[in-house]
Structure 1
Amino acid sequence: MPMYKVKPVSPGDIKIDLPTCMYKLPNTHAQGMNCGEHALQFTSNEQQRLPEILRKEMDHIRKDGDDDDDMNGEVDPALKALEERQDEVLRRLYELKATVDGLAKTVTTPDADLDASTLSRGPAESVFRGTADLDSLLGKDLGALRDIVINANPAHPPLSLLVLHALLCQRYQVLSSVHVHSSVSVVPPPLLSCLGPRHIDSYARQRFQLGFTLIWKDVSKLQMKFNTQSMCPIEGEANVARFLFRLLSAEPQDPLAATQMDCWIDTAVFQLAEVGSKEHAAVLRSLNSALGCSPWLLGQEFSLADIVCACCVLRAGQTTSAAANIQRWLKSCQNLGHFDCVNPLLQ
């Protein structure tokens, strides 16, 4: 039995129209409303198309302003200020979009860090004067920096890649950085600065064309990653050197010269750098004989064969005891200025 009973304060059949939201907003597209009554609402899809929406809205405002100008013969100062403010907002939005796209490319690249530093440019003029278009070489990729990530063992520094890195810097705007993987405990200081000092604009990735990241890591074979979504890793210093050399658009057009270049590269990597004294001496004799007929290994043109072979000879440390033709050739390579970046690593 209840203690007491309260009579209802309102009729039981009353109907209340409850709202579906906390408050209502006027329709922004209704006719007869002024700009002050507009309250824009964007869905998730519209937020992604914000620059396009703002541009269309601005075109509509400008059209209305042109109609008013035709009737009155003068420009409303408030409308002019609104146009200038809208142009500035659109400019900043496009810059922000380019920055976000660049950061997204970095995050999806394995072993790459957001910190970046660049290299010092070589003092000598590049011998490769051909024109190169990255869109034609690597495919069109708008709004993102093309990142080249290389994992190398500090016990065997890839000298030829450092030389190619210096050549790439003379051709493109390159954003470079050096990192140390957790698998490596100690790295000599020259290896940490082999790509040059930190660039003051390293935070603005959209200002560069290429990203060159060198990671000192405990790996058995050098590995390069470029496009992780549609390209498998490239292994071996010779193969990576070929890839980087193609970015310079300096490959021999003659099939015979291209074959000779590949033969010298394979000979240097597999016989001059990794085998015993007998094979090493035989390769040096062949090298001295070829250089006795021409200034460079392919004749009158400096090529990737000279870069790779010279780096292998310099790494072996037998430059003083080498034959006369080899010593002359090494001096010619040094005079180009492209090998200045590897000299600190040879001391």
Structure 2
Amino acid sequence: MVGREKYFKQSRYILIETEIMNGPNSMYKIKPVIKLAEEIELPKCMYRMKIIQNSYCNARVENVSKVSQSTNVLEQVKKFLKAPLPEVAALESRQEAILEQLAELKKQMSALRAELKLPHPSNATRAATVPTSSNITHIQVPIDIVINANPQWPPYSLLALSKLSCLSLNTHMHSTVVDLPQHTAQFYLSPSDEKARPITIRLIWKNVPDTELIVSPGRRITVRGEVNILRYLSRLGPARFNYELSGDPALASGMDCILDLCYSLVRNKTQKDRQADVRVLNSYLQKTQFLMGDDGITLPDIAAWSALKQIGYTTAKELTVNLNKWFQRCNDMFALVS
């Protein structure tokens, strides 16, 4: 321990002596290996930075010139926006060329119309869109409709409408049907005045799960279900069967309920469900001759009559007294034998 203390004291004395000789801030200087010239010529291909010392002096000048520079930038942006782009100019020239071609075609069409002595299109459109009171009830556009039906479930409602002179019925047989049942023979009895009827139904016997009306053959848009087809035809046929024109929401809703009941009556699978629907139909005939009153036959009567014929409820054994009288009354109106 005594030897170590002597060593530390000696080293401390040596450090103090060196500090007194060299001073506290003196460092050991090394002689330069290579002497360089005072002025160094820098290459001009490099990016030259600004002198840092001059940046503070030029700060005020830059602050003063900022306002003028901002205004100059805005003016340049405005000039750029006002200057048309080459793409926009090409589009404008192309549009002007197309307008000139359309104007030339319009002149040629006017010359042809004058040569053929045709009326001006505006006058023709006005005459077609504003009908007078004398031709509203006489102009009828012929409508050709295709309906696919399964011969096992024939849509008798179409037969009833043809007997009421509402439409003409033409029947055809698809390749999927080999033989037709006997009850479909009455559909082939076409009316004698079918040319005078505005609606022509082309009924095709086809093996389909449900009766369907082809609205758009290209897009395969169909109206499925016999009662839905009757709703569609009621908007095209005579106004007396279009219940939506009655103006009575309660009456229209009641007719819709009976039409839906007729659809479920045909699709019921058990005898119990069919008898329940028949009892509902019978409730509409407590004091009236037809389902919707004594004013005459309506669309629900046609749908219910067709549904009862499809399920085989055509005799007094399956029907109630009121329903049996109503069913015979419908047969007389349609000139059919049950």
| Structure-1-length-normalised TM-score | 0.50
Cα offset, 1:255, TM superposition: 1.0
Which one of the candidate residues 167, 170, 176 is aligned to 1:183? 176
Q: Secondary structure at the match of 1:305?
A: helix
Partner of 1:255: 249
CA contact (8 A) 1:132 1:248 kept: no
Whether the 8 Å CA contact 1:150–1:222 is kept in 2: the answer is yes
- Cα deviation, residue 230, structure 1: 8.3
Checking the alignment, whether the CA contact within 8 Å between 1:160 and 1:311 is kept in structure 2 is yes
Does the aligned pair in 2 maintain the 1:153–1:222 contact within 8 Å?
A: yes
Q: How does 1:134-145 map to 2 (within 5 A)?
A: 145=142
> Which residue of structure 2 lines up, in the alignment, with residue 280 of structure 1?
274
Q: Which residue of 1 aligns with 2:200?
A: 211
Gaps of 5+ in 1: 1-48, 60-130, 136-140
Equivalent runs, 1:229-240 vs 2, <5 Å: 232-240=221-229
Contact preservation (8 Å) 1:164, 1:244: no
How many Å separate the matches in 1 of 2:255 and 2:281? Answer: 13
User: Contact 1:290/1:297 (CA < 8 Å) preserved in 2?
Assistant: yes
Pairing 1:264–2:220 present: no
The CA deviation string for residues 22-63 of structure 1, in whole angstroms up to 9 with x for no partner, is xxxxxxxxxxxxxxxxxxxxxxxxxxx9xx97993689xxxx
Look up the equivalent residue of 1:313 and give its one-letter code.
Answer: L
Alpha-carbon contact 1:273-1:312 (below 8 Å) kept: no
Q: In the alignment, is residue 320 of structure 1 matched against residue 316 of structure 2?
A: yes
Give the match's secondary structure for 2:145. strand
Q: For residue 316 of structure 1, report the CA deviation from its aligned partner.
A: 2.9
User: Aligned pair 1:292/2:286, yes or no?
Assistant: yes
Shift of 1:195: 4.2
Checking the alignment, whether the CA contact within 8 Å between 1:178 and 1:192 is kept in structure 2 is no
Q: State the shift of 1:282 in Å.
A: 1.6
- Which residue identity lines up with residue 222 of structure 1 in the other structure? T
CA contact (8 A) 2:305 2:327 kept: yes
Structure 2 CA distance for partners of 1:186 and 1:324, relative to 1, 3 Å: same
Deviation (angstroms), 1:273:
4.9
Q: Who wins on radius of gyration, i.e. which is larger? A: 2
Distance 1:218 1:325, change over 3 A: same
Q: Give the letter aligned to residue 305 of structure 2.
A: A
Can you list the C-alpha shifts for 1:110-163, whole angstroms capped at 9, x where unaligned? xxxxxxxxxxxxxxxxxxxxx97886xxxxx6xxx4210001111111111221
Normalising by structure 2, we get a TM-score of 0.52
The answer to whether the 8 A contact 1:146-1:210 is kept is: yes
Deviations 1:152-177 (A, max 9, x none): 1111111112212333xx24xx5542
- Sequence identity percentage: 27
Q: Is the 8 A contact 1:164 1:245 kept in 2?
A: no
Backbone CA RMSD of aligned residues: 3.6
Q: Equivalent residue of 1:225, what SS?
A: strand
Partner of 1:306: 301
CA distance in 2, matches of 1:294, 1:326: 11
Determine the C-alpha separation between the residues in 2 that align with 1:133 and 1:232.
31
Stretches of structure 2 lacking an aligned partner (at least 5 in a row): 1-108, 119-135
